[in-house]
A and B are shown apart, each in its own frame.
Chain A
Amino acid sequence: MLTAGTSFDDSYVAPAGVCTPVCCTLEARKGRYRKVSTKEQEDLRLVECVLLIRDAQDKAAFAEVFRRFAPRVKAYLIKSGSDASMAEECAQDVMATLWHKAHLFDPTRASVSTWVFTIARNRRIDMIRKQRRPEPDELTWGPEPEPNAADVMELQQESNRLVQALSELPDKQRDLIQKAYFGDLTHSEIADETGLPLGTIKSRIRLALEKLRHAMK
């Protein structure tokens, strides 16, 4: 377990002058949190990387995100039924989309894993299922307020708790959920899922939505 004062990122040297307010505040907050697990550190580092891609077109930061997610996206696509070469092509595409859409990432509403998952899922529908993909209206019109660092921390921690809770589910239930997300179980084949630990993350997102609406007024 890491404690306050633990050096956060030995390997990482921030490029001069590109540290955004959120990055800086995150750095500051990390020191203050007493129990920041390794996984949480990784998650926050990923958020930082996406912000560095957004603000400084930082290729080293991109390489970090890439190492973490590109093989996972490829594995997801293969599990979802595409062959290896199609999965390679799609995975490259998903990661390139992440670069181009970095300005649309909102760390108060999603972890980087969740955001990457939605990009990969969309790509899968476009390329493999070849259907149109109706999407809800975006809420982020107008100038986006810079996300509050405490909100970012909390959402990221909550996402991490969800990952842990899912890993503690009985195998059977886990398998079903994985099939629902990776396979093509139809909505009637997924019996209503109960017992998923979604309450807190839902209320965090709800809170972020309310703040967003408030900021837009």
Chain B
Amino acid sequence: MSKIKHHLNDALLMSYAAGSLPEAFGLVVATHISMCDDCRARLGAFEAVGGAMLDDVATSQDVDLKATLALIEKGPKAPIRVDVTKLGLFPSALQDYVGGDLDAVKWRAVGMGVRQAILPTSKDASVRLLHIPAGCAVPDHGHRGTELTLVLQGAFKDEFDRFGPGDLEIATEEDVHTPVAEEGVDCICLAATDAPLKFRGLVQRIAQPFLRI
């Protein structure tokens, strides 16, 4: 996947390395890194900063070594999981949330041929899969907060750029964009927002609570 052009930014990588991203964003980050060696290496660097911070922290209290050795004797709490990378379109982290690969997604129509599946995460942000038929547009929307959109299959274009498999679009509050799926293959994206999307049309606004997006 050397063709990835749009990557995670430093703020996202640092937050992920620090363990402070909302779960929904964490899923998008983990999915992108599974597809992108550049960002994997950059994450390694940000984790090294965490290691350096740990090295440097002032210590005051000891920890009970005997109790820890006793804990070790009991064996691991859970079996040590060596993740076997699952085959399929979706990286393993995403498959864990879907309960399988693409064919296991429980899609719901949201109008204009677009389908979505909201994935269960903690409430501070939300994440969903989007299925946009080739050539179709996703409704024009703005959003409060940040929106991450990761392409898993196909490609879309908006006013700013083209996004193909593995590419991540980071849109902020100010960006009102209209992604259009390219002709050819249907576009499948993983999209996370840290605030509900607000669609601009009146009908869409009324429909929004129902759609839960």
What residues make up the interface of A, taking CB atoms closer than 8 Å to B? 59, 62-63, 66-67, 69-76, 78-79, 84, 88, 91-93, 95-97, 99-101, 104, 109-111, 113-118, 120-122, 124-125, 129, 131-141, 159, 162-163, 166-167, 177-178, 180-188, 190-194, 196, 198, 201-203, 205-206, 209-210, 213
Contact = CB atoms under 8 A, between A and B. Distances in A.
Q: Is the interface of A mostly helix, strand, loop or mixed?
A: helix
B28 to A, nearest CB: 9
Contacts of B40: 136, 139, 205, 209
B134 interface: no
A159 B80 contact: no
Interface stretch (B62-70, B103-111, B153-161, B205-213): B62-70
27 contacts: A59-B69, A63-B65, A66-B63, A70-B62, A71-B63, A76-B54, A76-B57, A88-B61, A92-B68, A92-B71, A95-B68, A110-B44, A111-B51, A121-B19, A134-B23, A136-B91, A137-B34, A137-B92, A163-B55, A166-B49, A180-B14, A182-B53, A185-B18, A186-B20, A198-B42, A198-B49, A209-B41
B183 interface: no
Interface stretch (B5-13, B135-143, B196-204): B5-13
Interface in B133-192: 145-146
B27 interface: yes
Contact of B57 (A75, A115, A191, A196): A75
Contact of A209 (B37, B61, B69): B37
B93 interface: yes
B48 A162 contact: yes
Interface residues of B, number: 72
B33 A167 contact: no
A170 to B, nearest CB: 15
Contacts of A67: 65
A206 B54 contact: no
A78 B76 CA distance: 24
B60 A166 contact: no
Contacts of A133: 19, 23, 26
A186 B16 CA distance: 10
A72 B54 contact: yes
B66 to A, nearest CB: 10
Contacts of A131: 23, 26, 121-122
Nearest to A132: B23
Nearest to B63: A70
Contacts of B72: 62, 96, 99-100
A25 B75 CA distance: 31
Contact of B63 (A91, A122, A187, A213): A91
A75 B19 CA distance: 16
Given A95-B63, A110-B47, A141 B58 contact: no
B52 to A, nearest CB: 4
A33 B76 CA distance: 39
Contacts of B62: 70-71
B30 interface: yes
A138 B83 contact: yes
B114 interface: no
Q: Which of A78, A92, A167: most chain B CB closer than 10 A? A: A92
Given A134-B27, A134-B31, A187-B20, 5 more contacts: A100-B80, A136-B40, A163-B56, A177-B49, A182-B53
